[in-house]
Structure 1
């Protein structure tokens, strides 16, 4: 049974308890998940970035009064705090990293699905912005519903400013992750996410949602979003063109691997010395040209 509002949980809730609510409703609000230092750090780092970019160029999806910026691991050290938050990461792992048994010869072998970071985005919805169409994020992979087998994405939206019903707090349709693909979302079914700065909305890729309408005169709704996706799906934001090698090397190993500098069950390998090797070996190598020595195009 679903509800007409999103449940609110304390930040000390267990990941298992939060997952139970998310599987029921499609999403949950975690109140006070991030402290003031993180929120103020995000504002200080990202306000200048968003001030420097243009608004979207359409009224429908990108929003002509909405500003967006990606590549957040290069723009704020606090992005790592969000990505490695134990509760969010624990929720994502329990939902996404479901193993399956496959035969290798005559013996079944358990293969976990793995997960990676699919996208990062800072979003400011300005006064006068209309509502974003309600959508499912997993539609980028042509996912079918209901998702009996596995979810594709677990996403977080961190409130950098307060989210209200008037300033564009993300609209969510509780329970819509259980719908099939023949049922269209209706605006009257959606509820606005209302939460204080530092709180977070966590929801599934199969849940209908969208940015809300900002009817205020001066209030910008500032949120930061990222997603953990199944590791075998192509990420929305291309990490290899988004970050320099120096930037990747400056990140914790957990983030490096989550940005696809890793090998997951034979996916993502690189050939080194005739072996299918983990890309992490490249990060530990001082000279990439040494890796390519002897390959076509290398003298």
Structure 2
């Protein structure tokens, strides 16, 4: 991976290869500060159990409260715009799927090549389900396990070559953003160095999917009420029309109010086309058509 790619060119790269690196999207010192703020959590977290997550790897979520500065990663304007451009044609709103810190230790084996959208047992190919972003906290090199990608593997026409020779290691630096589609075949590389490899994954998905990290338990109302409204909506305190994800027939954002009534009226939340069809139907019944 060489050469600078701007947020403007990222959609073209994603469509062609299924992944891209956007260079220098944030100052390196801002990323360093986030990295330092997670030192305790990395030290306290045990190694993963199982070959997929990696038994020489540490992972943990709930980053918006563990390290509030990660909100700048989740809500980065260019990244959100990119995720929305990929996903919004197939949903009313996008949702936060995951925040996860990852630390790959020396001796870690290469991760099994996989597609993240296989979380959802649905037929793939019509559209994208997911956009992922890796924010490196330390340099990603081939030696320390930089994520490997199989270019073009998000396409239905991909020949299925999963050999190591077909993969590209996405080397990148703190401040860069490594972006890939949920349908792109990838996996962390083996760490054959003497250094740790740290990064933060922020993942977005179609708003009508169940997220990988169950956001409403990770960020219950007493936590989410302190988020900015846009962030609260992204983690799930907003309905996906029509009426998906409601609480008592209301948008779940009402749970974030200081005082909530015990009894509330259910309120329609329809897409414009549904609202138009319903309006016509009601007018006909009333003799207004």
TM-score normalised to structure 2 length? 0.86
Coordinate RMSD, CA, aligned: 2.0
Match of 2:59 in 1: 68
Q: Does 1:22 align with 2:17?
A: no
What is the match of residue 169 of structure 1? 146
Choose which of 204, 214, 235 in structure 2 pairs with 1:228.
Answer: 204
Partner of 1:102: none
Q: In the aligned structure 1, how far is the partner of 2:80 from the partner of 2:211?
A: 17
Residues 50-83 of structure 1 deviation map (CA, whole Å, 9 limit, x = unaligned): 110101123x211111000101111112221011
Specify the alignment match of 1:245 in structure 2: 221
User: Deviations for 1:23-73, whole angstroms, at most 9, x for unmatched residues?
Assistant: 111010011112134212211221210110101123x21111100010111
1:88 aligns with: 79
Inter-CA distance 122–79: structure 2 relative to 1 (3 Å threshold): same
Aligned counterpart in structure 2 of residue 156 of structure 1, from 133, 150, 159: 133
Q: Which residue of 2 aligns with 1:291?
A: 262
Q: What is aligned with 1:53?
A: 45
Q: Which residue matches 1:296?
A: none
Cα distance, 1:181–1:18 mapped onto 2, change above 3 Å: closer
Query: Is 2:221–2:255's contact at 8 Å kept on the other side of the alignment?
Result: no
1:277 match = 250
- Residue 189 of structure 1: CA displacement? 1.3
1:222–1:192 CA distance, 2 compared to 1 (3 A) = same
Q: Of 88, 92, 96, which aligns to 1:113?
A: 92
Say yes or no: does 1:39 pair with 2:31: yes
The structure with more strand, counted as a fraction of residues: 1
Q: Note the residue ranges of structure 2 that are not aligned, 5 or more in a row.
A: 265-289
In structure 2, relative to structure 1, the CA distance for the partners of 1:36 and 1:181 (3 Å cut) is closer
* 3-state SS of 1:201 partner: strand
Matches for 1:163-242 after TM superposition, within 5 Å: 163-179=140-156, 183=160, 185-217=162-194, 219-242=195-218
Question: 1:151·1:205 contact (CA, 8 Å) conserved in 2?
Answer: yes
- More deviation, 81-90/186-195: 186-195
Contact 1:8–1:28 (8 Å) recurs in 2: no
Whether 2:115 is the aligned partner of 1:142: answer no
Aligned mates of 1:281, 1:98 — CA distance in 2: 27
- Contact 1:8/1:29, CA 8 A, preserved across alignment: no
Unaligned runs of 5+ in 1: 1-5, 100-111, 294-299
In 2, the alpha carbon distance for the partners of 1:228 and 1:178 equals: 20
The residue number in structure 2 matching 1:297 is: none
Contact 2:152 2:158 in 1 (8 A): no
Contact 2:93 2:240 in 1 (8 A): yes
Quote the offset at 1:255 in angstroms: 1.1
